[in-house]
Structure 1
Amino acid sequence: MSGPAGEPFSLLLPVYRRDSPAFLRRAFRSATHLQTRPPAEVVLVRDGPVPDALARALDELTATSSVPVVRVDLPANRGLAVALEEGLARCSHELVARMDADDVSLPHRFAVQLPLLDGGVDTCDVVGSALEEFSGGPAEDAVGEVDDDEGAAGAGETTLAVRTPPAGHDAIAVRARFHSPFNHPTVVYRRSAVARAGGYRDLPLLEDYWLFTRMIATGAKAANVQQPLVRYRVGAGAYARRGGLRLLRSELVLQRHLVAEGFTTPAQFVRNVLVRGGYRAVPQGLRRLAYRAVFTRRPPSSS
């Protein structure tokens, strides 16, 4: 480590036209001045034109942030892979944390994750964590004014499930042959490891998973913290987005890439097409039940 505070890092946060200004403000605040170990900079990528209210929120956050903000304003919507690549190119630091514009980082997130990357013989190249799925809360136009308890559940919010990925590198490598081994909004990684893997490549809705497989294949050492460090907002369309024709097409493209790259075997390719492809094609209600049964657990009782 480079000192008591550890190595400085960048926060990479992409935004596009469908993001909520209020949710963005809360996400930004939770990952910056509410953190016990805040980033040294925020790289805020605007992926194409956005509505006036969202543009005002971006300008407000840039002007008032307690952490320096680097703006990357793309003139046209290019998709998540391009937005992240453009943002990574503007990051000043080797260590980069990912953040989505509608999730909430718990205040100790980076204090827990960064020590696993910034020094020592067992240092990692990519670290994720468990997360809590949640829904509800105040009306959208009021969220930006809510003084939430540093990332904890807000008034009216319900924690639906806890999603805990495999912990160690070997288990992560095994999981990656069938399913993404990280909760993508929770990851912190080394830019050099991302570059060595070829960076983000365009594959709608599966960009992160494809990157993770290539990072593992090119020697990145991986780990997951087993405690939830991010609250992941599950909206009305969350499970709809995990299926449908567009995602089925991306799934088939991904599986062809993985077997061609030697990451999966022909037998694993067939299994994945049948199981993962079938999951994309089933009705939304059945998809929700299957996902919750396999990848999540119920949150602990508050009583």
Structure 2
Amino acid sequence: MSRKVDNEQHVEFSVSMCVYKKDNPDHFKEALGSIVNQTLLPTEIVLVVDGPIPSSIENVISNYEGVPLFKVIRLAKNEGHGNARRIGLDHCSNELVALMDADDISVEDRFEKQIKSFEENDEISIVGGNITEFIDSVDNVVGIREVPQNDDEIKDYLKRRCPFNQMTVMFKLSHVIKAGGYKDWYHNEDYYLWIRMYQSGSKFKNLEESLVYVRVGEEMYKRRGGINYFRSEAKLQKYMLNHNIIHSGTYVKNIVLRLVLQVLLPNKMRGFIFKQFARKKIEKKGKD
């Protein structure tokens, strides 16, 4: 099931992930495979099953249940992403916790690189990285979402956009708890947490490399738009304004930009804008 790792300085850390009924079982299987085939293995994988799931997903889980490092937490009903994340962290045994989504693929040395960052700087609270976006296959890369790397840049970026790719992060659990942990917030549980960690004095870092391959497509752009998504982000901007993280000029600018992108633009146009201006373009090589 997993690669044998020869590393005498192995640091104990957990991986926390969630799965629910609408996740693709094949993608879920790939996601799990990318965790157990790392150059540095976790000592614990905590999987929250967020409500009833079909047999196809259950079959994937059954291949791992009984493995000592694999811990399955089953919820009677779907609690939502933020609550499921919080419950997963409640069951993690280690101070360092890496997050993982059920349909993405971690690069094989992701955890090794993140652990090294914590070892080099004990003040860091969270380490994330870039993501490589693909359609259907990792051979069909369509873009890279780059995020700022050092603490000052990340905290400045946070005032305009979410500064971390959530599926890439590894953090100190005690620092997350100090900030209040995950709380339910429509499609923005992670951004809300990073803001509160900023308020609590956490130190941030992103690696310059891509740490996770992420599936994208029309469904992703749909999730990034609509009146409910806009209201969620508008509330976050109001929260930052009320807590003096941003000033009124930034607030107005952020609200107007989100209104246009998330409400006024159709999905196809929103997707075009994201790919043109919010992602690093990938040059496609022609056939010889």
TM-score relative to the length of structure 2: 0.92
Alignment of 1:290 with 2:273, yes or no, is: yes
Query: The residue matched to 2:18 in structure 1 has which SS?
Result: strand
**Distance in 1 between the 2:200 and 2:247 partners?**
17
TM alignment of 1:94-243, pairs within 5 A: 94-117=95-118, 119-121=119-121, 123-137=123-137, 153=138, 157-243=139-225
Aligned to 2:77: 76
**Distance in 1 between the 2:283 and 2:208 partners?**
14
**Distance in 2 between the 1:133 and 1:289 partners?**
14
Q: 1:59 to 1:89 in 2, by over 3 A?
A: same
**Distance in 2 between the 1:121 and 1:159 partners?**
32
Aligned to 1:24: 28
Alignment of 1:15 with 2:16, yes or no, is: no
Aligned to 1:57: 60
**Distance in 2 between the 1:79 and 1:57 partners?**
21
**Distance in 1 between the 2:104 and 2:90 partners?**
23
* Offset from partner CA, 1:157-211 (integer Å, 9 cap, x none): 4100011101111000010001011111101111011111111111111111111
Q: What letter matches 1:280 in structure 2?
A: Q
Q: Measure how far apart 1:263 and its partner are.
A: 2.1
Alignment of 1:274 with 2:256, yes or no, is: yes
Query: The residue matched to 2:140 in structure 1 has which SS?
Result: strand
Q: Measure how far apart 1:91 and its partner are.
A: 0.2
Q: Measure how far apart 1:59 and its partner are.
A: 2.3
Q: Measure how far apart 1:278 and its partner are.
A: 2.1
Q: Are 1:5 and 1:37, in contact at CA under 8 Å, matched by a contact in 2? A: no
**Distance in 1 between the 2:203 and 2:45 partners?**
25
Aligned to 1:90: 91
Q: Are 1:35 and 1:110, in contact at CA under 8 Å, matched by a contact in 2? A: yes
- Give the one of 236, 243, 260 matched to 2:242: 260
Q: Measure how far apart 1:26 and its partner are.
A: 0.6
Q: Measure how far apart 1:248 and its partner are.
A: 1.4
Q: Measure how far apart 1:302 and its partner are.
A: 5.6
* Offset from partner CA, 1:76-111 (integer Å, 9 cap, x none): 111011101111010000000000000000101111
**Distance in 2 between the 1:52 and 1:235 partners?**
26
Q: Are 2:127 and 2:205, in contact at CA under 8 Å, matched by a contact in 1? A: yes
Q: Measure how far apart 1:301 and its partner are.
A: 5.0
Aligned length: 279
**Distance in 1 between the 2:270 and 2:28 partners?**
28
> Which range moved further: 242-251 or 166-175?
242-251
**Distance in 1 between the 2:42 and 2:212 partners?**
16
**Structure 2 unaligned spans of 5+:** 1-6
Q: Measure how far apart 1:15 and its partner are.
A: 0.6
Query: The residue matched to 2:11 in structure 1 has which SS?
Result: coil
Q: What letter matches 1:14 in structure 2?
A: C
**Distance in 2 between the 1:266 and 1:4 partners?**
52
> Which range moved further: 258-267 or 190-199?
258-267
* Offset from partner CA, 1:188-235 (integer Å, 9 cap, x none): 111011111111111111111111111122111111111111100113
Aligned to 2:3: none
Aligned to 1:144: none
Q: Measure how far apart 1:295 and its partner are.
A: 2.1
Q: Measure how far apart 1:7 and its partner are.
A: 2.3
